[in-house]
């Protein structure tokens, strides 16, 4: 299961976990708060921030 995490580089919201539930992590988080680092992860045709180093 994926969870919300904080990016160690830009300190915005990213995710941590298996990678299958990334869209669920971000469905209630405004895109302005998403991590802006690369490389992005694509799920269901949409790009999401890269995996974080640890869950919050």
Alpha carbon 16 to its chain centroid, in Å, reads 7
Position 36 scores a pLDDT of: 98
51 touches 2 (CB < 8 A): no
Full-prediction pTM beyond 0.75?
A: yes
Interval 9-48: pLDDT, tens = 999 999 999 999 999 999 999 999 999 999 999 999 999 9
Rounded Cα gap, residues 45 and 56, in angstroms:
26
* The two three-digit tokens of residue 45, written as one number: 């045709």
């Amino acid at each position: 299961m994926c969870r919300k995490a904080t990016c160690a580089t830009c300190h915005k919201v990213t995710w941590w976990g298996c990678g299958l539930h990334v869209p669920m992590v971000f469905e209630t988080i405004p895109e302005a708060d998403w991590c802006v680092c690369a490389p992005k992860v694509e799920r269901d045709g949409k790009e999401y921030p890269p995996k974080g180093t640890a869950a919050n």
